[in-house]
Amino acid sequence: MLFGVAVFQSSSADDDSYKFNGMDLLHLKKYILGSGGLSELQKVLYDFNFDGKYNGMDLLLMKKIILGIDVPIVTATSGTENTQTTTENMQITTKDDTMITMIPSLLPNEYQKEQIARKYGMFIHYGLNTFTETEWTDGTLPVTTYNPTAIDVDSWVKTAYEAGMTYVLALAKHHEGFCMWHTDTTNYSVKDSPKKDDVIKLYADACEKYGIKLALYYSIWDRHEPTYKSDFSGKYIDYMLTHFTELLDGRYGEIVELWFDGAWDKPRSEWQFERIYDHVKRLQPGCQIGINHTIGKDDNKTGMAFEGSGWPIPANHPYIPANYVENMSFRYYPSDFRLLDPFLPKKNDPKIYMFGGERYYTPFEVTLCIRGTRAMGPSDHYFPGQWFYSNDYPSKTLIDKQYVADTYRYLVADDNLLVVNLPPDRNGKLIPGDVARLFEIADELGIRKTWNN
């Protein structure tokens, strides 16, 4: 029981009744120090959410140890490692020689449970491409391209709240590399544009006001940053890690999700996702990471999950979500949840997938666009829509409200999530028809709210 002594003898907690997420810590302490059996303690611990610190004790770490995963111990007094208990498959650590990564499990962990409970969010594509009449640009357009007359982020988030959504998924950086927050890593950001508002700060403030969560989309592909081509494995990876520090160090509050996208022009190992995952989790352990094209052939080659299949993508392709089966492989790992936009999983979507001989529980987050969504290919398995605003955007067909409501119901029943994309215009406003349709969907689902404050 050395791990229990190391954690608890260093605690300054009095022998009164202390609670943490509903768990009586004094009762727990007595169990560990010899008053109770370890097997009984394991039963008690499993259902409790231990995340963070209490009087210097790393409670999540302690839980993992007690449940059978040996890891280095962090004491409250010194903050140093006791390496008496280690294993080859170490999953949690506080040193750089081994990294925080996913823990194999057939059940959702506490942070996944929190994500699943969020159910429904608004995806917002707003950035430099809002002003270009195209969905993708190549990073060569001047920063002056981004020049809104106004940015009413408060109204976007209020709309999400009133539509019964629990989080906003905001674009932080798209493929062209333009950053929507104040960063010193590049001169290609809102800070250097004619309209200098820190848009991520505006999102964070509005989310706090309306009591909903903030998630961020970030393209790991960057068509502007020179080091992407000149020194990818060194300076570019460091460039991204600096971005994640800026976005997750607390200046924007809690970030519940990072949605990674890219061109997949490099094999998995070159992206250093394990290092990125470790870095993010050290900043915000509850931030869930999803990598687009999560599931696919584990060949460590360039390309998407359905690379080489031709176009349109055949309905029987094994790596589209409608055809997923349990124990398929991760193509991009580690990923706390699955992504493959704009595809939909089947009902009774399987949750267990494999990497390195281990099995992992991973929910799926579906993305739909409120306009322009249409089926492609021989069956309704691929649903692209329009992500960014354009001059002809308001004339595009709105998505059917019943279709979205039915999709929401089966996704939520399967412990998956749905986000619906609404792109603001060049005056920083959502399109009235988009908002009206979103509220119709909320009325159909019975989740409509009214902001009265």
Of 42-56, 231-245, 299-313, the least confident: 42-56
pLDDT score for 384: 72
Give the confidence band of 315 by pLDDT, cuts at 50, 70, 90.
Answer: confident
Q: What is the per-residue DSSP string for 11-29?
A: ----SS--EETTEEHHHHH
Long-range contacts at 39-44 (CB < 8 A, ≥ 24 apart): 41/66, 42/66, 42/67, 42/68
Across 70-74, 82-86, 410-414, the highest mean pLDDT is recorded for 410-414
- At 274, give phi and psi (nearest 5°): -60, -40
- Annotation: CATH topology of 110-445: TIM Barrel (3.20.20)
Domain boundaries along the sequence of the chain: 2-82, 110-445
pLDDT digits 0-9 by tens, 135-157: 999 999 999 999 999 999 999 99
Least confident of 15-19, 71-75, 295-299, 447-451: 71-75
Q: From residue 410, how far is each of 85, 183, 236, 340, 414 by CA, in Å? A: 44, 40, 40, 17, 6
For position 314, what pLDDT does the model report?
Answer: 80
Residue keyed to tokens 């750089």 = 96
DSSP code of 139? Answer: S
Each residue's pLDDT tens digit, 159-194 = 999 999 999 999 999 999 999 999 999 999 999 999
The contacts of residue 406 (CB under 8 Å, 6+ apart) are: none
Using a cut of 0.75, tell me whether the model's pTM lies above it.
Answer: yes
Task: Give the helix ranges, DSSP H, for 67-198.
Answer: 110-118, 153-162
The tokens of 283 are what?
Answer: 């900043």
For residue 179, what are its two tokens?
A: 């950053």
Sign of CA dihedral 156, 159, 161, 165: negative
Alpha-carbon torsion (13, 16, 19, 24), positive or negative: positive
**Non-local CB neighbours of 183 within 8 Å, separated by 6+ positions:** 189, 191, 242, 243, 246
Who has greater pLDDT, 364 or 10? 364
Task: For residue 78, give every residue at least 6 positions away whose Cβ sits within 8 Å of its Cβ, in sequence order, or none.
Answer: none
Give the tens place of pLDDT for each residue, 192-210.
Answer: 999 999 999 999 999 999 9
Say which amino acid occupies 385.
G
Other CB atoms within 10 A of residue 228 CB: 20
